């Protein structure tokens, strides 16, 4: 699982929080800082998960919360 976060989030790594809150210790978790772009969405954490599924791509629902929906208006309702 990969996490990216904007530079204004600087108190804890997302992977550390996930390991502590969900007790996930058996999969790799990586943290990266998002490139800063003027006017970009502040206080944003993105998560990339690779999963195995028998579902087709059109049956997968991507979750974007709050203003993060603006990041991918092409695939959000």
Tokens 């997968």 locate to 60
pLDDT confidence of residue 73: 77
- Could you tell me if 62 and 55 are in contact, meaning their C-beta atoms sit under 8 angstroms apart? no
pTM for this prediction? 0.75
Edge-first strand order for the sheet with 2-5 is 30-33, 2-5, 45-48
Using pLDDT thresholds of 50, 70 and 90, give the confidence band for residue 71: confident
- What the block records as the tokens of 24 is 């996930």
**Domains of the chain, start order:** 2-72 (3.30.1330.40)
């Amino acid at each position: 699982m990969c996490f990216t976060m904007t530079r204004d989030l600087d108190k804890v790594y997302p992977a550390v929080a996930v390991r502590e809150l969900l007790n996930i210790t058996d999969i790799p978790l990586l943290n990266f800082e998002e490139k800063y772009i003027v006017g970009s969405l502040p206080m944003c954490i993105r998560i990339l998960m690779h999963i195995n599924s028998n579902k087709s791509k059109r049956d997968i629902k991507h979750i974007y919360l709050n203003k993060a929906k603006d990041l991918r208006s092409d695939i959000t309702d």
